[in-house]
Amino acid sequence: MIHDLDVTQLVGALRRREVSALEAAQHFLARIEAQSDLGAFLATDPEATLAQARAADARLAAGDTAPLLGVPIAHKDIFVTRDFPTTAGSRMLAGYRSPFDATVVDRLAQAGMVTLGKLNCDEFAMGSSNENSAFGPVKNPWDRARVPGGSSGGSAAAVAARLAPAVTGTDTGGSIRQPASFCGITGIKPTYGRASRYGMIAYASSLDQAGPMARSAQDCALLLSSLCGPDPDRDSTSLEVPTEDFSRALNDDLTGLRIGVPREFFGEGLAADVRAAIDAALAQYQKLGATLVDITLPRTELSIPVYYVIAPAEASSNLSRFDGVKFGHRAKHYTDLLDMYKKTRAEGFGEEVKRRIMTGTYVLSHGYYDAYYLQAQKIRRMIADDFRQAFTQCDVIAGPVAPSVAWALGDKADDPVASYLADIYTLPASLAGLPGMSVPCGFGAGGMPVGLQLIGNYFGEARLLNAAHRFQQATDFHLRKPEGV
């Protein structure tokens, strides 16, 4: 079946003309339609998709060698797209259509990919369970009573349920890694600045990064090579480093690889089932020739208050553009301009987004700026310094992605702080701007997937993908799929 093929296999099948781009697109569209109760997709437009697929087939017939020609992909609804509506999971943008494509979307289209539609996510990417979407939650394909993780929950669920061979996600504080972990798939967040943020609806600009999510590290490497690259005219924080072939080192031997194991990632809060899977994965790495090095990231716990000051601060500024004037929702009844702003924002934003705007405005306000925002910035720098120190002793860092497997829908919905605390292991790399990934490494309570987090040094993506790929050559966790899929 077409949906059993991964990206690498699909590329081959398309080139050999065993399957056409049109057939692949039709096959996945039918699956998406049949499984709409998962809640993974917010928008499809078969006509637009099939037109893209026909164009890909024409390119294939003409001998075009674009690396991902004809392979279907779906995008997190935080990337703006011309052919599909864009909502960022918010009522504020219901019905919005962008006049242009995000750079990431554009780059993947240039590489030949065919867009299947847009994926559900937490509103403006704020959340860890996808329950903050204004358009309903996403169910975890491994257990529909559980969350898929967030904020890229629709993305992860779509890959796990084989509704798309690959998807995009964004990661501000863990939103690629944590849902990948909860849904048993592979995802990578590159070094901050590798991927253009142009057309990615901004949450916290100094942290936001795009990345691919797929079944294997090999697929992620292929996708990442097309997705990254400088975009100097449109994103001033995109790095002037040339496009790389991230697949080049996939098969390198791991003998002598020094894996740093931060002791703070194995503290009290880590569930025993997750810990057991991580320990087994580390033992597997030793078998592959790597050595484990005990390291310390002493400010791991502080990453939670630091992140939940800085991210809301940036969000409060970024989200000021949603005022009912230029785009999106506008209140129907109002008395004057100020009243229009107030009612528009009161109606358009969900509870969590409002909470963050209020927190962010508070920590930036005169009198509190020094005590909160400035202090958080200082500690952010120290967290980056801790990593710098750690990387003098090791080549990559490994630990859990999250303290537990996916929790039940509704479990943390009324307790934002409980959900913030569960971000502890993904926030440090985000604050430091380091690349990080999640690799399926076992199963825990309820048969739910567990992800191993690998954190690399700046620009260390090829190394990370190599470590992940060798692990996946030796294990089959990434090949397992939920029952009935």
Catalytic residues: 76, 151, 175
Q: How far is the CB of 33 from ligand GLN (least distance, A)?
A: 28
Examine residue 472 and tell whether it contacts ligand GLN (CB under 6 A): no
Instruction: Choose the binding region for ligand GLN from 47-55, 57-65, 124-132, 223-231 (rule: CB under 6 A).
Output: 124-132
Least distance to ligand GLN, CB of residue 173, Å: 3
Q: Which residue among 131, 143, 171, 235 contacts ligand GLN (CB under 6 A)?
A: 171
Decide: is 52 part of the binding site for ligand GLN (CB under 6 A). Answer: no
CB of 174 to ligand GLN, least distance (A): 5
Distance, in Å, from the CA atom of 376 to the CA atom of 344, rounded to the nearest integer, reads: 31
Check residue 353 for interaction with ligand GLN (CB under 6 A). Answer: no
* Structure-derived torsion over alpha carbons of residues 229, 428, 396, 206, reported in degrees to the nearest 10: 10
Q: Pick from 173, 184, 211, 433: which binds ligand GLN (CB under 6 A)?
A: 173
- Closer to ligand GLN at the Cβ: 311 or 441? 311
Stretch that binds ligand GLN, among 35-43, 173-181, 230-238, 295-303 (CB under 6 A): 173-181
The residue sitting closest to ligand GLN, measured at its beta carbon, is 175
**Quick one: which segment of 126-134, 258-266, 359-367, 389-397 binds ligand GLN (CB under 6 A)?**
126-134
Examine residue 175 and tell whether it contacts ligand GLN (CB under 6 A): yes
Q: Which of 47, 33, 107, 53 is nearest to 75 (CA)?
A: 107
**Should residue 125 be labelled a site residue for ligand GLN when binding is judged by CB under 6 A?**
yes
- Does position 129 bind ligand GLN by CB under 6 A? no
Identify residues 198-217 at the interface with ligand GLN (CB under 6 A): 203
**Shortest distance in whole angstroms from residue 149 CB to ligand GLN:** 9
d(CA 225, CA 256): 26
Span interacting with ligand GLN, options 42-50, 110-118, 170-178, 438-446, rule CB under 6 A = 170-178
Interface with ligand GLN includes 304 (CB under 6 A)? Answer: no
Interacting residue with ligand GLN among 52, 90, 172, 218 (CB under 6 A): 172
Q: Residue count at the site for ligand GLN (CB under 6 A)?
A: 13
Determine if 127 is a binding residue for ligand GLN (CB under 6 A).
yes
Beta-carbon neighbour count of residue 55 at 10 Å? 15
Answer for which of 126, 163, 166, 406 binds ligand GLN (CB under 6 A) is 126
Please tell me whether residue 174 binds ligand GLN under the rule CB under 6 A.
Answer: yes
Smallest distance, Å, CB 60 to ligand GLN? 35
Sites for ligand GLN among residues 398-427 (CB under 6 A): 423
* Residue 14 or 176 having the CB closest to ligand GLN: 176
Q: Which residues would be at the binding site for ligand GLN (CB under 6 A)? A: 125-128, 151, 171-175, 203, 311, 423
